[in-house]
Amino acid sequence: MTRVDVVTCFIEFEGKILLLRRSQAVGSYQQRWAGISGYIEPGNTPLAQAKLEIEEELGLDPEKLILVKQGEPIEVVDRELDRTWIVHPFRFRVSGELALKTNWEHAEYRWIAPQDIVSYDTVPQLDAAWESVK
């Protein structure tokens, strides 16, 4: 089974967190809800990759992000994909004006109350990733 390190980022704004529905164009978990996520590129730290993904996927300036918490990595086994994801979870807060510009990776987004995450059809163990950073 292939082990792959990824980041998952939760963006918090005015007490709500951002969930994004993955588009049909992504390689896995199409149409499932997720945080901002991406593979950790060689040479990048998880934190640097998290900020890069947020900038690429939302158009947010990393300088406007306040790191609230970095959780311990979570192991997520997906036998269908023959992959073990090592998920590095992050929680960031954003204040001030917020204008999101999602890229091709997302079909839509919603601001939700954190406790409502369990009501969505999410990527595997997204709720566990949230629990590690709340």
Mean pLDDT of the chain: 94
Regions of the chain where pLDDT drops below 50: none
Q: What angle do CA 41, 42, 44 make, to 5 degrees?
A: 70
Would you state the pLDDT for residue 100?
85
Structural domains in the chain, CATH included, are 2-133 (3.90.79.10)
Would you state the pLDDT for residue 35?
97
Would you state the pLDDT for residue 96?
72
